[in-house]
Chains A and B, each alone.
Chain A
Amino acid sequence: MLDSPLTDASAPAASGPLQRVGTWLGEPKTLGWIAVAVVLIGWELIVIAFGFNPIYLPRPSRIVVALVEMFRTGGLTTDLLFTLGRVFGGFAIALVFGVAIGIWMAVSARFNAIADNFIAALYPLPKVTLIPLLIIWLGTGGPFMLTISALGAVFPIILNTLLGIRQCDPGLVLAARDLGANRRQIIRKVLLPGAVPSIFAGIRLGLGVSIILVVAAEMVVGKLGLGARLYLAGQVLETEQVFAVLIVLATLGVVITKTQDFIDQRLSRWRVA
């Protein structure tokens, strides 16, 4: 990764160990983590000093203890795996269908006309509103969870695939035709790779929606999964456990975002200079 010239200029060569620590402390990344630590310590001290009831605001240290305990004996691992399975299972379905539908819409004006109205109606609809209907149709088991997860992710993936293909440089298609590409080869070797950055933008959006929907559905159904765990803990005023689940969800979000950032960087060579 290239550093911006601004950060380069603000990091002169340090001489003594003290200066080196000073430089290290002044770095934006370090500063970010120091801020997190300050907030946590402040939180801990305030709760102790004012004697807050842990039902309203537990101490961070107690939350960490609760978190470890839930992983060790409370079956939080199972809940996490269920949630992950639902999110990524539905997301995988959405990816396959979303890319296929997006390509089809991009290359066929007829199919585009047919699909366009349905997408216009379904895309802006908050998908959580479909939970009651889907429960009536599918029950509360795996098929329901996968469907709600896939429904969340599929629209951004369709639309971004379509957009990516439409924005593909027509010169590249012409060059491929010139070199003997047939329709299928143009789709597979030019349009699809050309749309990859855009498809990843769709994946980014879609995966976020999938997580929201799966957790929301789990809260409604309330059996297994992080959402169910969160809801049940709230019901019995186990605030430490509520926070613990929130930490797991936030961490999940961070891991997914960072992974996507990493993939995005690798994809940068896709983009034309």
Chain B
Amino acid sequence: MTGPAVAIDCEGVGLTYTAKTGTAVNALENVRCRFSPGKVTAIIGPSGCGKSTLLQIARGFLNPSQGRLRFVTLGGEAAAAPAMATVWQAFNLFPWRNVLDNVAFGLELAGVSRGEREARAKAALAKVDLAGFEDKYPKQLSGGMRQRVGIARALVMEPDVLLLDEPFGALDAQTRLVLQEQLATLVETSGTTAILVTHSIEEAILLADTILVMTARPGRIAAEITVDLARPRSLATTHHPEYGVLFDRIYGLLRDEVVRAMTTEGEA
């Protein structure tokens, strides 16, 4: 957290692209939302609703075809884009680099000296309980360990905003539970802004301050739900009565959209 607290505002963001078949696809439509600094915002929605697309727009990798993206200070003034780093569903680790060099990659690009970047990468690895695995190669690690390398690789950049693109989507259910808890702790202690794209209602509630529920394509914000559950959260949080209420509410919203996505999928 280096820069001032900057919010990311989506002001009527829409994205239309031309599919290979030549038809225009409306991926996102009139998305209005704020990603607040220091908060975790989860985006949840049916498959193909444009969750990851919205994340790519926030990251600046995709330009919206309608509306705009603004970075504003809490005072309402325009600000420069905050520093961001992404954790990917597919890990996207470099197979020819060992764990340490994977984590140090961003620092290496930025011209940080070898000694400093290795020290910082080691510290980041220790944070995700991977001290001692510096010399391993990604393919020697389990999926859960690979994603912890992915998390360390993003954290070492000390981003203002951490983007989590279905970070545990490729992991088995148990690994997922453990990593969710670890990530919840990391996010709580660092106080970083985070945007989490997920399919999992449980993950969204455990990690987020705000949950944006999206509609089926074209993706719009169906509801913005505030999660007031006390932190630190853990698996025990799921026994809290409030958790059940939130879960049911989000499931109710999602169920209709998922059904709608399933029945209209053929048209896309």
Question: Which residues of A are in contact with B by a Cβ distance under 8 Å?
Answer: 169, 171-172, 174-181, 185, 189-190, 193-194, 196, 269-273
Q: Other than the known A172-B94, A189-B109, A269-B137, what 13 A-B pairs have Cβ atoms closer than 8 Å?
A: A174-B88, A175-B88, A175-B93, A176-B105, A176-B109, A178-B163, A179-B105, A180-B109, A196-B96, A270-B95, A272-B95, A272-B139, A273-B138
* Cα–Cα, bound, A271→B139 (Å): 9
Complex Cα spacing A189 to B102, Å: 11
Min CB gap B98→A, angstroms = 9
Interface string of B152-163 (1 = CB under 8 A from A): 010001000001
On whether the beta carbons of A193 and B61 are closer than 8 Å, the reply is no
Which applies to chain A's interface (DSSP): helix, strand, loop or mixed? helix
User: Contacts A189-B109, A272-B139: A174 and B61 contacting too (C-beta < 8 A)?
Assistant: yes
User: Which A residues touch B106, using CB under 8 A?
Assistant: 179-180
Q: Are A177 and B61 in contact (CB under 8 A)?
A: yes
If A196-B96, A272-B95, A273-B139 touch, whether A179 touches B85 (CB-CB below 8 Å) is: yes
* A190 CA / B85 CA spacing, docked (Å): 18
A189 and B96 CA atoms in complex are apart in Å by 10
A176 to B153, CA, bound (A): 11
A-B contact count (CB 8 A): 58
Q: Do A171 and B92 form a contact, CB below 8 Å, given A178-B86, A180-B109?
A: yes
- Chain A residue contacts of B93, Cβ below 8 A: 175
The verdict on B59 contacting chain A, using a C-beta distance below 8 Å, is: yes
Interface residue B90 (Cβ < 8 Å from any Cβ of A): yes
A interface footprint on B101-130 (CB within 8 Å = 1, 0 otherwise): 000011011100000000000000000000
- Contact flag A269-B88 (CB < 8 Å), given A178-B59, A181-B109, A185-B109: no
Closest beta carbon of chain B to A122's beta carbon, Å: 32
Shortest CB–CB separation between residue B140 and chain A, in angstroms?
Answer: 8
Q: Are A175 and B86 neighbours in the complex by a CB distance under 8 Å?
A: yes
In the assembled complex, 15 residue pairs joining A and B whose CB atoms fall closer than 8 Å, in A order, are A172-B94, A174-B92, A175-B94, A176-B109, A177-B61, A178-B86, A179-B85, A179-B109, A185-B109, A189-B108, A269-B96, A270-B95, A270-B96, A272-B138, A273-B138
Residues in B whose Cβ lies below 8 Å from that of A270: 95-96
Closest A residue to B105 using CB positions: A179
Does B1 make an interface contact (CB < 8 A)?
A: no
Instruction: Give every chain B residue within 8 A of A193 (Cβ-Cβ).
Output: 94, 96
With both chains docked as a complex, state the minimum distance between the C-beta of B152 and any C-beta of chain A, in angstroms.
12
B84 interface hit (Cβ, 8 Å): yes
Give the Cβ gap from B191 to chain A, nearest Cβ, in Å.
21
Collect the chain B residues with CB atoms within 8 Å of residue A273's CB: 95, 138-140
